[in-house]
A and B are shown apart, each in its own frame.
Chain A
């Protein structure tokens, strides 16, 4: 059983008077510790799928399972708790809280949950993460005093601070120059290896696809490729969720 499973997931958005089917019945499974890329052109449905995995959006049909548990019937408060305890987010636009400095932004998720860790342990962990992302000298700076790459590093540290099983990254390199983008990818890969955190990217950055362990390609809301890196391009794995890897694929 994968850490994430999508079972015949369909998502329809109302757009004015028209219904737009962004995801047309998708099924796949993601293993723990994967560094997975959900790739595809704009409008292919990759961000929609990431949102549904991240429990910030609900499928119109089908089921998203996290750790084997279905999520479609959970209440808002249960979804919030599950997000907080299981998931970390890295956003395309960094989404740091502007009034908090680097250290406080990283600390922020730890202040939200019901479980409290000791102050010393907490501070040590935050300091460690900030050091890991190379921002020790910037810890008292606010986000508007940082470069794009530095902001994304803060976002990575913030995503990891609750020790989540899964980190979701929506186009994490889209707003970065190529050199910075590569540094960020290396950092995430390093964390993936060291902490065995599952990273799920939505991207059309070829560099991410190149270093991913698991690649899922989408087009027009359908899976057109679903393979491990070592498998040949164009493979659609059918052993992930029953017999279906992607309706219509």
Chain B
């Protein structure tokens, strides 16, 4: 063993108290880093498993918007309202679903709704706690699904009562554990076969649709996900979400209509005397004066409005793909995006994280917060370790001076302290790792349960798990050694300034 290593080991043992102070900090840092990463890795893996099995599949194809598009809409100020529909859905679906490695594919669209009664007063004050909770029970994250394919993609969904939505069938499927809450909110019994009035809110206004409960469901694979998720037939969803013929129809006004809209005083529209004076193209063409009865007759014809309000049967927000091997996803995504570019289709493919949107990002946000906390902790640790080492070096001034007098160069002194620091970091890093393994085993053994949805997302499932990743161990060890080296830079510079003459003065 080189003399520097031998001396480093012995110095660390000789100065036990200081070694313990510095070592405890390093071990604690390692423990926090390893356990924190183990928690975050488990959380991400939990969310990944839950989402790929239950909601996202392995690949998602969406339209292109200003912000990232997920199953839950566009992540921008506009949110769900700006979620683009897929262009050339049929062509996209045919291409994507027949790619090698794709075992299932389905289209879907998303929206939000609120279950309501016809008698519900929308102006009801919901400020008290019970009302707010009750309102949350009424909120529905609506997944409008391609019933012919969707259930093949997500085999983790099991029917508790009733049946799966069939192709062409109208209705909703509600989570079995939410049915009672919904019934309580609506203040009536609810069972399969009953109708529920759903209020959809979107940029074109509020729409109400009644939908029959065709079934209740549960998931085989429980995990983090939107609690209020309700499956609905795609056409009803389209109407509730404003994905109608009118919304997608490109209506152009001719010059006469445009000029009519631009003329006149708005107040005149509400002046009964004005009926006889309005000069409209209709009046001009018929040669008859425009009377109140005539206007009522015109407005009474709602056929055009009804046509525009029917669901746009070609409108889908996304296509989800299931692969025989999820590891193939990056390659397939790349291939799909290249194909979209070649074909000039404004669509984009992404992985489960893109599909899960804010849910997947919650782990990334947590990791950023965790990393910042680790950096702050590292800075504090560096300062404490640095002070301890400086004190240690001042105490060893005579020893360092003696070594210099005997012929030790600055490089030797640098190597000696580097060896001490690295030895300390590695030894106590390993201690910290050991503690992290014990901590992880205890956490996994106890099995802390998530008591609410926030914790479920945080835990990546119903129970807190930690998974120690070997790469995280290596990374944490590198960080700990770096912290040790950084903390020793200034103390070593102090040691290097010690002149050999100090040996004579000791």
Contact = CB atoms under 8 A, between A and B. Distances in A.
Contacts of A55: 500
Contacts of B398: 93, 95
B10 A99 contact: yes
A97 B407 contact: no
A130 B234 CA distance: 95
Contacts of A57: 499, 501
Interface in B278-301: none
Contact of A89 (B6, B10, B405, B506): B405
Contacts of A111: 3
Given A91-B503, A95-B398, A99-B7, A54 B405 contact: yes
A56 B406 contact: no
With a 10 A CB-CB cut-off, give which of A51, A81, A109, A113 has the most chain B CB atoms: A51
A208 B408 CA distance: 30
A137 to B, nearest CB: 22
Interface string A106-136: 0011011100000000000000000000000
B76 interface: no
Contacts of A76: 410
B14 A56 contact: no
Contact of A77 (B10, B14, B409): B409
A183 to B, nearest CB: 23
A170 interface: yes
Contacts of A242: none
Contacts of A98: 14, 399
B409 A112 contact: yes
B506 A56 contact: no
Contact of B406 (A47, A50, A81, A84): A84
Contacts of B10: 99-100
Contact of A47 (B403, B500, B504): B504
A85 B407 CA distance: 8
A54 B403 CA distance: 14
A95 B402 contact: yes
A158 interface: yes
Interface in B397-422: 398-399, 402-410, 412
B404 A51 contact: no
A97 B504 CA distance: 14
A91 B501 CA distance: 11
A131 to B, nearest CB: 22
A113 B407 contact: yes
A20 B404 CA distance: 26
Contacts of B444: none
With a 10 A CB-CB cut-off, give which of B3, B10, B405 has the most chain A CB atoms: B405
Nearest to B503: A95
A95 B3 CA distance: 18
A97 B402 contact: yes
Nearest to B412: A112
A160 B402 CA distance: 15
A50 B501 CA distance: 10
A171 to B, nearest CB: 10
With a 10 A CB-CB cut-off, give which of A50, A81, A99 has the most chain B CB atoms: A99
A91 B408 contact: no
Nearest to A84: B407
B11 interface: yes
A80 interface: yes
20 contacts: A47-B504, A50-B504, A51-B501, A56-B405, A56-B501, A56-B504, A80-B407, A80-B409, A89-B405, A91-B504, A91-B506, A92-B504, A93-B398, A95-B503, A97-B403, A112-B406, A112-B407, A112-B408, A112-B409, A162-B407
